[in-house]
Structure 1
Amino acid sequence: MDWLFFGEVSLAGLATGGLYALIALGFVIIYKATRVINFAVGEMMMFSAYLFLTFAGILDWPWYVSLPLAVIGGSLLGGVIERVAIRPMLGENPISVVMVTVGIASVLIGLAEMLWTADPQLLPDFLPREPIMIGEMFVAPKSGWAFVIAACVIVVYLLYFRFSRGGVALRATASDQAAAYSMGIAVPKVFSAAWMAGAFAAAISGILVAASGGLSPQMGVVGLSILVIVILGGLDSIMGALIGGLFVGWIETIAGTYLGGEYRQLATFSLLAAILIVRPYGLFGTREIERL
Structure 2
Amino acid sequence: MNAPALYELLEYSLIGLLSGGVLALIALSFVLVYKGTGVVNFAVGEVMMLGAYLYYTGNVIFGLSPVPAFVLSLLLIALLAVLIERLVLRPLAGQSAVSVLMATIGMASIIHGVVESFWGSDTYSVPPLLPRRPLNFSEVMIPGTAIGNFAVAAALIIAFILFFRYSKTGIAMRATASDPVTACTLGINIRFAQRLTWVLSGVVGTVAGVLIASSANLSPLLAATALSAFAVIILGGLDSILGAIVASLIIGWIDAVTAGYLGGKARDVVPYVVVLAILVVRPYGIFGTRTIERL
Bin for the TM-score computed over the shorter chain: over 0.9
**1:4-36 Cα shifts (integer Å, max 9, x gaps):** 111111111111100011221221111111111
CA distance in 2, matches of 1:27, 1:265: 21
Residue-by-residue CA offset, 1:47-68 (whole Å, 9 max, x unaligned):
0000000000111111121111
- What's the secondary structure of 1:235's corresponding residue? coil
| Whole-angstrom CA distance in 2 between matches of 1:204 and 1:108 | 17
CA contact 1:228–1:272 (8 Å) conserved in 2? yes
Compared CA separation, residues 129 and 272, structure 1 to 2 (3 A): closer
Equivalent of 1:102 in 92, 101, 105: 105
Displacement of 1:180 in angstroms is: 0.5
2:129 is the alignment partner of 1:129: no
Say whether residues 1:187 and 2:225 are aligned partners. no
> Aligned partner of 2:76: which letter?
G
> In structure 2, what is the equivalent of residue 84 of structure 1?
87
- Write the distance in 1 (CA, Å) between the matches of 2:177 and 2:191: 12
SS of match in other structure, 1:231: helix
Does residue 200 of structure 1 match 2:199? Answer: no
Percent identical pairs in the alignment equals: 41
Segments of structure 2 that go 5 or more residues without pairing to the other structure are none
Q: Select between 135-144 and 205-214 the one with higher mean Cα deviation.
A: 135-144
2: CA distance between counterparts of 1:129 and 1:205? 17
Cα root mean square deviation, aligned? 1.5
Task: State how far apart, in whole Å, the 2-side matches of 1:250 and 1:68 are.
Answer: 31
Instruction: Name which one, 1 or 2, has greater alpha-carbon Rg.
Output: 2
**Corresponding residue of 1:231:** 234
Q: Say which SS state the counterpart of residue 291 (structure 2) adopts.
A: coil
Q: In the TM superposition, what is the alpha-carbon distance from 1:155 to its structure 2 partner?
A: 1.0
Match of 2:263 in 1: 260
Q: Distance in 2 between matches of 1:251 and 1:141?
A: 21
Number of equivalenced pairs? 290
Question: In structure 2, what residue type is equivalent to 1:16?
Answer: S
The answer to whether 1:269 aligns with 2:272 is yes
Specify whether residues 252 and 187 from structure 1 end up closer, same or farther in structure 2 by C-alpha distance, changes over 3 A only. same
Amino acid at match of 2:13: S
Q: Quote the residue 1:67 is aligned against.
A: 70
From the superposition, tell whether residues 82 and 134 of structure 1 become closer, same or farther in structure 2 (CA, over 3 Å). Answer: farther
CA contact (8 A) 1:40 1:223 kept: no
1:134–1:186 Cα change, 3 Å? farther
Using the size of structure 1 for normalisation, the TM-score is 0.95
Moved more, 93-102 or 151-160: 93-102
Output one character per residue of 1:88-107: Cα deviation in whole Å (capped at 9) or x when no partner.
22221212211111111111
Tell which deviates more after alignment, 32-41 or 69-78: 69-78
Alignment gaps of 5+ in structure 1: none
Deviation at 1:136, TM superposition (A): 4.4
Moved over 6 A (4+): none
Aligned equivalents of 1:289 and 1:198: distance in 2?
Answer: 28
Matches of 2:199 and 2:157 in 1, distance apart?
Answer: 15
